[in-house]
Chain A
Amino acid sequence: MQGWNWNGFFEYLTNYYLFQGALVTLGLTVFAMTAGLIIGFILAVMRMSPYRILSVPAYFYIWIMRGTPLLVQLIIIYTGLPQLGIKFTVVESTLIGLALCEAAYLAEIVRAGIAAVPKGQVNAARAIGMRESQILRYIVAPQAFRIIIPPLGNSVNGVLKTTSIASVISMNELLRRTQVLIQEKFLVLELFVVAAIYYLVMTTIWELIQSRIEKRFGRGYGQMTPDMH
Chain B
Amino acid sequence: MSSNGQMIALKGVDKWYGEHFHVLKDCSLTVDKGEVVVICGPSGSGKSTLIKCINALEPIAKGSITVDSVEVADPKTDLPKLRAKVGMVFQHFELFPHMTILENLCIGQQKVLGRSHDEAVQRAEKLLHRVGLAAHAKKYPGHLSGGQQQRVAIARALAMDPIAMLFDEPTSALDPEMINEVLDVMVSLAEEGMTMMVVTHEMGFARKVADRIVFMDGGEIVEIGKGDEFFTNPKSERARTFLSKILPH
Contact = CB atoms under 8 A, between A and B. Distances in A.
Nearest to B94: A124
Interface in A111-159: 118, 120-121, 123-131, 134, 138-139, 142-143, 146
B24 interface: no
B99 to A, nearest CB: 8
A129 B140 contact: no
A135 to B, nearest CB: 10
B55 interface: yes
Given A220-B140, A221-B142, A130 B108 contact: yes
Contacts of B97: 143, 220-221
Contact of A129 (B83, B90, B145): B83
Interface string B95-113: 1111110000001100111
A138 B143 contact: no
A138 B111 contact: yes
A146 B108 contact: no
A67 interface: no
Contacts of A83: none
B83 A223 contact: no
Given A123-B57, A130-B112, A220-B97, A229 B83 contact: no
B98 A142 contact: yes
B206 interface: no
The range of chain B's interface size is 35 or more
Contacts of A127: 55, 57, 83, 86-88, 90, 157
B160 interface: yes
B135 to A, nearest CB: 9
Nearest to A139: B96
Contact of B111 (A121, A124, A130, A225): A130
B81 interface: yes
Nearest to B113: A129
B201 to A, nearest CB: 20
Contacts of A124: 88, 90, 94-96
A219 interface: yes
Contacts of B207: none
Interface in B54-104: 55, 57, 79-88, 90, 92, 94-100
B144 interface: yes
A223 B143 contact: yes
Contacts of B96: 121, 124-125, 139, 143
A225 B112 contact: no
B157 to A, nearest CB: 7
A3 interface: no
Nearest to A120: B94
Interface of A: 118, 120-121, 123-131, 134, 138-139, 142-143, 146, 219-225, 228-229
Interface of B: 52, 55, 57, 79-88, 90, 92, 94-100, 107-108, 111-113, 139-145, 156-157, 160
Given A128-B156, A129-B80, 4 more contacts: A124-B95, A221-B97, A223-B143, A228-B144
22 contacts: A123-B52, A124-B90, A124-B94, A124-B95, A124-B96, A126-B80, A127-B83, A127-B90, A128-B108, A129-B80, A129-B83, A129-B112, A130-B107, A130-B111, A134-B111, A220-B97, A220-B99, A220-B142, A221-B140, A221-B142, A225-B139, A228-B145
